[in-house]
Structure 1
């Protein structure tokens, strides 16, 4: 009896994974508390160059595990946002779930410095679609920290009325 031995060649499937990480910073004359209030007011994203509205009720305080939805200004793309970590007055970290093939993590960090208070906006994209998503969102992402600082400074000016906050239902 002839024995037939077959060899299996194991090939590892390597998925193309790309990782992009950028941090943008802005110095603001607004206090740390004022900057923090803008960051954690998830219902008011009028200052945000990427998000247009959320389904968060006014006054909801972000806590780890909170999941909410938002719509982007880049197109009518609804995204889910998962709050990962909150350190009051210091850090808010969220994960954005938009489309398969892209994992996005966003971190807002507020620090006091000699020149003023610094707000940093860090974006990390992972996945095989991240270069495509980054090509559409990079110029908007570069404006987030500056827009947040400007909105916090504008809110501290006397006589400035606040607009009603936009929210929507899903």
Structure 2
């Protein structure tokens, strides 16, 4: 909960930077509706972080830092959605799921992508080589130029991360 002083600071920050941030998003996206959504998301993220007062001394930089992260997430989601929709177009019409099932699958795909993206690069690669490509730990070790024992550690780390991520999502 914000104190009255923090609330007044936030109000001043919002009123002073909202239009500028929305114009910035609009230039990047070319869509006023998406720009408005991401602008709001930026300020919501700021509220949720319960930012320390010193960040308000350089609001442009701090808001831009949050906004860039949201923009990357937006583009990643768009790319993933496009790939998913392209894959659906390749299916036979009789095999196509209902719109509701498609939406659930896309949301699940986005969650898996977010979970994998938060893994360190070599851990993510090892996990995907094992789960998607079906490679053995020895084959993965050769590809990543690490020991087989390190691949086992990567896999244990990835599995633990998956469990923790799932638990954190269930709490929301």
Higher strand share: 1
Q: TM-score, normalised by structure 2?
A: 0.23
Higher relative contact order (CA 8 A, sep 6+): 1
- Higher helix share goes to which structure? 2
* TM-score normalised by length of structure 1: 0.23
